[in-house]
């Protein structure tokens, strides 16, 4: 093997190894790095506006953008989290004291069912309501205790959380200040054609903005509306249920209904007709319309992905990457579609060029045709 070829392969191997080692080094803080990049992309238009006002004072522009980001995005989350900790502790106390017993609710629904529904359940084998009641009671106690423990951990502000938060804010400042140069450096490093890199990077930023912006707005709106109707109906733990509906609304079409739907059924079955009707109408025509109107406008329109693909990719992302998956899942799906679209378009262009070359007459055949004595007219006398 020539020495130059050996050195080239050795350098590629070294490049791969140090890249893997660097990624492995950053894995403990991948969440902080990930959200720093996401926030930098989301607030990039605002940063460009502030930078035009600040002129060449890049540090001041980055600091002002970071300050706006903290006020608009981070402080509200901290305030909601602090209130949520208290709400979780209160709900856990109610469940532990027996004031909120989901098993009892199931028993009330069973007794309120009409005879023909109970006969239908008997025919299909759904008769063991006692086991279901015991299971729900045990599951809710276990779940509430787990939430209470997590709330205590968050309330105590663990060292890892402080370090991750500090890394995110520190990195976010430099992404605001040097983000355009870093993005250009990353784009230039990829061994792809300039047109492909530009298209893929544009798709990446569009999907990140659309997914985060759309899902956060939809989740916040549905959670606020759900918590509001629960508060109006005097349901205990309205803030907690609102936050749960906000998280579940990350699942298109089915999210918030997993919370308000069973509550509406409970009201209707147990005789609280106006509460059940009110909650059902509000859930279908207010909370549901938020998902049906805002999500396609904010997510599907910009990402140009169908709703079913957004749903599947979101579920897969949440299953693999946790909460970060509601961004990573649709992002992977969008990059998959963009990459194959580029490949398909370039393949079609290459095939079109090939067909054009095949159908075009060659110079040799043209010359023969021009000199063909059969087709050459005779000179006039």
pLDDT tens-digit readout, 37-52: 888 888 888 898 998 8
What Cα–Cα distance (Å) separates residue 316 from each residue in 29, 53, 245?
22, 42, 19
Same domain, 216 and 324: yes
Residue pair 7/22 in contact by the 8 Å Cβ criterion:
no
Residue 84: how many other CB atoms lie within 10 Å = 19
172 and 152 both lie in a single domain: yes
Asked whether residue 9 is domain-assigned, the answer is no
Positive or negative: CA dihedral 115, 116, 119, 124: negative
State whether 218 and 163 are in the same domain.
no
Shared domain for 221 and 90, answered yes or no, is no
Asked whether residue 91 falls in the same domain as residue 68, the answer is: yes
Whether residue 160 sits in one domain with residue 98: yes
Give yes or no: residues 176 and 209 share one domain.
no
Q: Where on the phi/psi map is residue 231: left (φ > 0), alpha (ψ -120 to 50), or beta?
A: alpha
Residues 57 and 205 in one domain: no
Structure token pair of residue 348? 């079609």
On whether residue 338 sits in a domain, the answer given is yes
Domain membership of residue 3 (yes or no) is no
Domain contains 335 = yes
The pLDDT value given to residue 63 = 92
Instruction: Indicate whether 206 and 164 sit together in one domain.
Output: no
Distance CA 276, CA 262 (A): 10
pLDDT of residue 374: 47
Q: Which long-range contacts (CB under 8 A, 24 or more apart) does 152-161 make?
A: 152/85, 154/81, 154/85, 155/82, 155/85
Query: Do 98 and 226 share a structural domain?
Result: no
Residues 108 and 211 in one domain: no
- Structural domain boundaries enclosing 270: 194-352
Q: Is 208 a member of any domain?
A: yes
Kindly give the parts of the chain with pLDDT less than 70. 1, 3, 82, 84-85, 90-92, 94-159, 252-254, 296-304, 307, 360-381
Residue 170: how many CB atoms within 10 A of its CB?
13
280: closest CA among 288, 271, 270? 288
Instruction: Tell me, yes or no, whether 54 and 174 share the same domain.
Output: yes
106 touches 136 (CB < 8 A): yes
Query: How many separate domains does the chain show?
Result: 2
Task: Yes or no: say if 195 and 280 are a contact pair by the CB < 8 Å rule.
Answer: no
């Amino acid at each position: 093997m020539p020495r130059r070829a050996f050195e080239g392969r050795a350098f590629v191997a070294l490049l791969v190894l140090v890249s893997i080692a660097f990624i492995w080094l950053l894995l403990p803080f991948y969440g902080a790095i990930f959200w720093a990049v996401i926030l930098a992309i989301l607030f990039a238009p605002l940063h460009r506006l502030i930078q035009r006002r600040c002129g060449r004072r890049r540090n001041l522009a980055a600091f002002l953008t970071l300050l706006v980001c903290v006020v608009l995005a981070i402080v509200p989350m901290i305030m909601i989290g602090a209130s949520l900790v208290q709400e979780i502790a209160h709900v856990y106390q109610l469940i532990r004291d027996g004031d909120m017993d989901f098993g009892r609710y199931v028993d009330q629904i069973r007794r309120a069912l009409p005879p023909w529904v109970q006969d239908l359940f008997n025919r299909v084998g759904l008769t063991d309501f006692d086991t279901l009641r015991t299971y729900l009671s045990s599951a809710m106690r276990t779940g509430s205790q787990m939430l209470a423990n997590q709330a205590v951990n968050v309330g105590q502000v663990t060292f890892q959380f402080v370090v991750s938060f500090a890394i995110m804010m520190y990195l976010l400042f430099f992404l605001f200040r040097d983000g355009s140069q870093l993005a250009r450096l990353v784009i230039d490093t990829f061994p792809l054609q300039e047109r492909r890199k530009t298209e893929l990077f544009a798709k990446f930023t569009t999907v990140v903005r659309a997914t985060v912006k759309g899902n956060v707005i939809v989740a916040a709106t549905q959670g606020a509306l759900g918590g509001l109707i629960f508060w109006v109906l005097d349901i205990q733990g309205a803030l907690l249920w609102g936050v749960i509906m906000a998280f579940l609304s990350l699942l298109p079409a089915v999210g918030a209904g997993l919370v308000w739907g069973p509550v509406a059924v409970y009201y209707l079955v147990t005789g609280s007709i106006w509460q059940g009707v009110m909650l059902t109408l509000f859930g279908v025509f207010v909370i549901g319309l938020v998902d049906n109107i805002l999500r396609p406008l904010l997510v599907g329109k910009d990402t140009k992905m169908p709703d079913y693909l957004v749903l599947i990719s979101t579920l897969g992302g949440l299953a693999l990457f946790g909460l970060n998956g509601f961004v990573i899942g649709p992002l992977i799906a969008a990059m998959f579609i963009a990459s194959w679209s580029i490949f398909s378009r370039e393949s079609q262009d290459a095939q079109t060029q090939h067909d054009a070359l095949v159908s075009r007459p060659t110079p040799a055949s043209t010359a023969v045709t021009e000199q063909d004595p059969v087709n050459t007219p005779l000179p006039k006398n």
